[in-house]
Amino acid sequence: MKWIEYVAHVVECYPDDLALICHGEKLTYAQLWTAAKTEAQRLRETEHLRAGQYYYQSCTQDIAYVVRFIALHLIGTLSDILYTTGSTGKPKAVLLSEKGMVANAENLIEAHGYHHGMTFVVCGPLDHFGPWSKMLPVFMTGATLHILDGLKDLESLFDALRPSHSATFLVPSAIRMLLQLNGNRLAALADSIEFIETGAAPMATVDMERLRELLPRTRLYNTYASTETGIVCTYPFHLSPAEGREGITPKPILHGCVGPMMKHAKVSIGPMGNICVSGPMLMAGYLNEDGEGNLQLDPVGEMFETADLGHFDDEGRLFLTGRSNDFINVGGLKLSPIEVEDAAAGYPCIEDCICIPEPHPMMGQVPKLLVTLRVGTSFNKRELASYLKEKLIETWKVPMRYEVVDEIRKMPNGKKNRRSYLTSCEGQP
Amino acid sequence: MKERIRALLEDQLPLVDLESDALYQELDSLGVTTILMTLSDEFGIELDSRDATPKNLRSLDSVVALVERKLSEKA
């Protein structure tokens, strides 16, 4: 059964129930369905879109985006494509199959308990896998999706979480932000928040404990997931303390069974310590351009080896210990340092540079740029930051810290010696 | 006071134009949080999301006014 068929069933069952809230607008399931059918018709007639064709949709974080998403599935979408950070600094196109969508939705429904009558609040961009994936179980179960445009206005978040049976996904840095500045406000919502899911970055044990204290009746989950792997496993940290360790346990969830204790193990540790994942929730593969600019699928195969390093403990719990590539984890968003260095290389006074992670109390890590200058030049930090913002577009990619150094350390083969700069950030994948 | 706050925020937020009269519009969630936490730590005042209004963060002058108000409430 396709995802859109589940949604059609929900529309039949709960036509007058609220499906979507965004910027003060509200749509019932019947209204959402009508709007999606109208949009599908427009796409067919004015843009001549047919099943199986590519359609590029930029994320607008509003009702129109969701309507178009459903419309595309009504037309006959075979797969969705999300762009994710590539290790070379160039984004990778990840193909998510129809089968994977349903598997991921079922994983979330079973593991976290999505249900008709609950409201899920999405704060992050809907073209990122975390927030995107939440649309799937919400509309499969007849729940309500409340879309927020980021966390700049925390009052909107508190208002959105005030109705009973509310739930949300927050990256660890957002949770820390709430705990540091608004712990009491969060505690006041203890009876309305049904569950909070986190993930995408390590969460400090002290934050887990604090959240448990403030929200004693709320289910709390730390999930291991990525665009490529889908939803793999989740750790219900409301049930037991994290025992002083930062990590996640492989609660056996449908399609995401993990560890040797399971009948059908879906996660293993590769020879180099990398976490390997298999199951129907995996991506179909990467889409790459051939020499003539046509997209072709590089299929994933049965098992996907992630860049995450991990191990199982004696109880079969999976712990993340780091990453085998050089990504900088900025509050759950993965940044390739090469992308920043390529952008900075064009700045007139910079002779050489390296982008490294620097610990940050809120974001976990932020990018820092070390530069060597051309002889006789100097640079202004704010001007360089503005230059990089123009090149990198997204603010979170722009380094917060800058330092002029005498040289950039290199390895014998001439490549930048990134590892030599990581001592202060060890343990922060 | 104003120059002290300017120096603090300039160091923390290299992308933000502190001369702007539309400061709030320039900030993202990290920027808002950074301002609240930096000022809380530096001046020993309590700031939370209710203080992060467009009015309070409209300009550097309004941020200074916010800090002065919190300091006087504390005194």
Domain boundaries, chain B: 2-74
Domain over B2-74 is classified CATH 1.10.1200.10: yes
Contacts of B36 in chain A (CB under 8 A): 181
Nearest chain B CA: its distance from A371 CA (Å): 16
Q: Which of A92, A69, A64 is nearest to A80 (CA)?
A: A69
- Percentage, residues of chain A above pLDDT 70: 91
CB distance A249 to A235 below 8 Å: yes
Identify the residue with better confidence: B27 or A419: B27
- The DSSP letter of residue A414 is S
ipTM of predicted assembly, 2 dp: 0.78
Question: pLDDT digit string (tens) for A348-398?
Answer: 999 999 999 998 888 888 999 999 999 989 888 889 999 999 999 888 899
Residues of B with CB under 8 A from a CB of A: 10, 12-15, 27-30, 32-34, 36-37, 40, 47-50, 52
CA-nearest residue to B30 within chain A is: A152
Identify the residue with better confidence: B42 or A319: B42
**Cβ <8 Å between A154 and B37:** no
With a CB-CB cutoff of 8 Å, which residues 184-203 of chain A face chain B?
Answer: 185
Does pLDDT of A425 surpass 60?
A: no
**Cβ <8 Å between B14 and A381:** yes
Q: A287 pLDDT band (50/70/90 cuts)?
A: confident
Q: What pLDDT is attached to residue A427?
A: 37
Cα–Cα distance measured from residue B69 to residue A235, given in angstroms and rounded to the nearest whole number = 44
Report yes or no: A303 at the B interface, CB cutoff 8 Å: no
Nearest chain B CA: its distance from A180 CA (Å): 8
Task: Tell me how far CA of residue A165 lies from CA of A106, A147, A189, A213, in angstroms.
Answer: 19, 16, 11, 19
Q: A258 pLDDT band (50/70/90 cuts)?
A: very low
Mutation for testing the A interface, residue in B15, B17, B35, B39 having most A CBs under 10 Å: B15
Radius of gyration of chain B (CA): 11
- Percentage, residues of chain A above pLDDT 90: 43
**Cβ <8 Å between A153 and B52:** yes
CA-nearest residue to B50 within chain A is: A155
Q: A241 pLDDT band (50/70/90 cuts)?
A: low
With a CB-CB cutoff of 8 Å, which residues 139-168 of chain A face chain B?
Answer: 150-155, 158
pTM: 0.84
DSSP per-residue codes, chain B = -HHHHHHHHHHH-TT--TT-S-HHHH--HHHHHHHHHHHHHHHT----GGG--TTTTSSHHHHHHHHHHHHHHH-
Question: pLDDT digit string (tens) for A15-71?
Answer: 999 999 999 999 999 999 999 999 999 999 999 988 878 888 888 899 999 999 999
pLDDT along chain B (75 residues), means of 10: 93 89 89 91 91 93 96 88
CA-nearest residue to B10 within chain A is: A382
**Which domains are delineated in chain A?**
78-323 (3.40.50.12780), 328-425 (3.30.300.30)
